[in-house]
Each structure stands twice: as C-alpha cells, then as structure tokens.
Amino acid sequence: MNELKFVVWEDAFGCPAGWELMEEIEKQTSVVHSVGFVIAETEQTLTLAPHIGGQNRENQQYAGVITLPKRQIISISSLVNIHAMSESALEAIPFVDMTRDEIVAYFSRYGFKDKNGHHIEFCDDFLALVDLASK
C-alpha cells in the first residue's frame, strides 16, 4: 500500500480575469495543505492521490492526483495507516470513533491555525480520509 502523507506546500496566487488597481493586487503566495497517498516520487517531484479506487480489482483508478514540485514543499508528514494499527493503539487516538463533524470540532477546539492566525480549513479530500479513518 502507498504511504499516506500530509504535505504543506507553497503555491502561486493571483492571475485574475480582469484589470486591477495596484492596491487590489494580491502580493502573497498561498500555503496549501494536501493529503494523499504517494503514488510516484522523483528527485524533483512528489505525486499524491487522495482517492484510489479498484482496490478489489486488477486495475486501480486514481482521482484528484496532484504532482508537486519538491522545491515548493515546506513540510511532509507521514500519516498513520489506521488499518494496520492494533486495537490498543487505535483506542489511544482521541478522535477514533468520532464523526466527521466531531473531528473538525476537535481540531478547531485546539486552535490549529495557519501562520496568519486563520483556522485551518479541511478540504473534501481530507474529510474523505477522515471518513475512512473514523469507520
């Protein structure tokens, strides 16, 4: 099975459709949080897939795949393979057996914020992984 990773990376930001005044122009990049299974890696890139279908078939399908230039990656963290954990280890995780909403509330309650003080928002791909882990 592919490793599950949480990747923080920096992306370009901007390029609106029309004209802008100087004071309207966004002058910062965007820090992005991505979660997925590592399906390919080179010296220059890391490819993540949040969805892998066909686990019970000869051929697998991938959705939501993103290839990140490593020079844009700020940090990479390994996530736990919840299916390989023992029952006692699972019981020690504070959000096992919680619903999706309870997990989001748990993270919010403990103040997970980005470098600008904004609460981290969870994308649908991350919540799909939360759903998998909370079953």
- Whether the pTM exceeds 0.85: the reply is no
Token readout for 36 is 């997925």
Per-residue pLDDT tens over the stretch 87-106: 555 555 555 666 767 766 76
All structural domains of the chain with their residue ranges: 1-79, 81-135
Cα-based angle 78, 79, 81 (whole degrees, multiple of 5):
120
pLDDT band of 77, cuts 50, 70, 90: confident
Bridge partners of 69? 45
Each residue's pLDDT tens digit, 108-135: 665 655 555 555 555 555 666 666 665 5
Give residue for tokens 């990747």: 7
